Structure 1
Amino acid sequence: MTTARLPLFPLNAVLFPGLVLPLNVFEERYRAMMRELLKTDESEPRLFAVVAIRDGHELAMTAPGMPDPAAALHRGPAAGFGPAPLDSFHPVGCVADAATIRERPDGSFEVLATGTTRVRLLSVDASGPYLTAETEELPEETGDGAGALAEGVMRAFVNYQKRLAGARERSLSTSDELPDEPSVVSYLVAAAAMLDTATRQRLLEAPDVAARLRAELKLLRSETAVIRHLPSLPAVDLTQTPTSPN
């Protein structure tokens, strides 16, 4: 399998292939990463690996634009992640391609990246100005019955969206508005459904597309049943996705 050493960007979120990730980069270790990525010619991909932080390991500064003064005593690329950073992260992440990196006057960065391929973390190196990881690309296996499962997931997702949004105009009205390629459907639904980080991580790590779709079908039916009994859910707030700070 293909391996590569990439800059590592830990988040309290899961990135999926094909999904867009906006970032507000203000910590020095991640500023250094973006400055290095900017050295790559615009015609080449500016790649880094995004990995979700395990529950109970989040000690790094994450407030958008407002670093925690108490955390400033702990410096360096592995600050907040302990003596063995690899143990602080989920084992599977996603490579991101930074299409846009804009430096602000204060030295922070506004970044817009897109997920590309899944990778497994093999090791983490904290010897430089920012974390890097040796990564192994994971194959995208389709699995049995992915096409039929994708159709079922699309129907369930449309029903879920209508329930969540109270059948307002912002909800999807027909499955024609969703893609029909099974892997794309699987990642779109994983990112768009109201799921916690641990559940999203399990979907990212699914052994193949069919397994991911089967899990999503079960989740969507369960969540839709819950929403049906909670008609007062604040749908507008729930369906908004905030910018991810570093």
Structure 2
Amino acid sequence: MALPQLLSSTSSNFTLKSSLNPISSQPPSSLHSVRRIGRRKLRNIRCSASSLPEKHHNNNMNSPKTNDDVLELPLFPLPLVLFPGAILPLQIFEFRYRIMMHTLLHTDLRFGVIYTDSLSGTADVGCVGEIVKHERLVDDRFFLICKGQERFRISQIVRTKPYLVAAVSWLEDKPSGDGAPEDLDDLATEVEGYMRDVIRLSNRLNGKPEKEIGDLRRNLFPTPFSFFVGSTFEGAPREQQALLELEDTAARLRREKETLRNTLNYLSAASAVKDVFPSS
């Protein structure tokens, strides 16, 4: 679902998307990212090892950490944020990533998606993408359907050629330490309510017929639901990255509630203007 430009709690514009496969981007050119499978034109995505922050590089590139909580993971730096549970279609055609694909298809089918842009550089925290479906095309390109799994934090870069490999450690939410124990289910219900209102007003502004909005939470526990909500904030990847990095489900839900509340206020004002000036 495409909404007009909306206000968020971080002064970023974003689009709330209510589909189950909500990841999208505005990429440059090296991998192709596909929002929907079908006839839509593929968009190019550039992955560059040089965009990684210098702090991750290590002179001894062959000695990554090897304890139980750290492992090596091939990386895709992309101008988008993958959340646990979200779906990411990709088309691979650059030579180094075709090499990576041949390796992955004979191992565990998992790689790391890490957000990068020209202003903020490459993030420390990303999400594992697991290949759940793939098709090898005639010219050795690959079409993939990936699903977000665990979050990780980069410990160090192991090597940069022929593709990036990093030593990473897993990232999990911790119990809230702000001294304000909050019922996560109640908080998730509030967030779902704001989502419903945003979708309803967005449909009205876009001239879509009124219809019942289905179950947005889909019986998800609060933590995976918070990831689903974050994945719908299409068009604000920095805000999405901030949500991905939070290690507190309550804090993530509260931030999403604030963003949705600001968006709802904006849409309510836009709807009032449309009622007064219907031809504008």
User: Where do 1:28-39 residues align within 5 Å?
Assistant: 28-39=95-106
1:220 shift after superposition: 0.3
Structure ranking higher on relative contact order (CA contacts 8 Å, 6+ apart): 1
Alignment coverage as a number of residue pairs: 198
Instruction: State the AA in 2 paired with 1:13.
Output: L
User: Partner residue of 1:211?
Assistant: 251
SS in 2 for 1:229: helix
Aligned-partner Cα distance in 1 for 2:122–2:152 = 13
**TM-score relative to the length of structure 1:** 0.73
Q: 2:111 is matched with which residue? A: 48
Aligned to 1:134: 167
C-alpha distance in 2 between matches for 1:125 and 1:54: 21
After superposition, the Cα gap between the structure-2 partners of 1:99 and 1:213, relative to the gap in structure 1 and judged at 3 Å, is: same
- 2:200 pairs with 1:162: yes
The reply on whether 1:148 has 2:186 as its aligned counterpart is yes
- The structure with the largest strand share of the pair is 2
Corresponding residue to 2:219 among 179, 182, 187: 179
CA distance in 1, matches of 2:216, 2:158: 45
Question: Structure 2 vs 1, CA of residues 169 and 51 (structure 1 numbering), >3 Å: closer, same or farther?
Answer: farther
Unpaired stretches in structure 1, ≥5 consecutive residues: 58-87, 232-246
Q: Partner residue of 2:236?
A: 196
Gapped runs of 5+ residues in structure 2? 1-67, 272-280
The residue number in structure 1 matching 2:155 is: 122
Per the TM alignment, residue 30 of structure 1 is displaced from its structure 2 partner at its CA by: 1.4
Percent identity over the alignment is: 30
How many Å separate the matches in 2 of 1:2 and 1:214? 29
- After superposition, residues 67-78 of structure 1 pair within 5 angstroms as none
Query: Partners of 2:212 and 2:159 in 1: how far apart?
Result: 44
Quickly say closer, same or farther: Cα 1:170–1:116, change in 2 above 3 A. farther
Give the Cα separation in 2 of the matches to 1:170 and 1:4.
Answer: 49
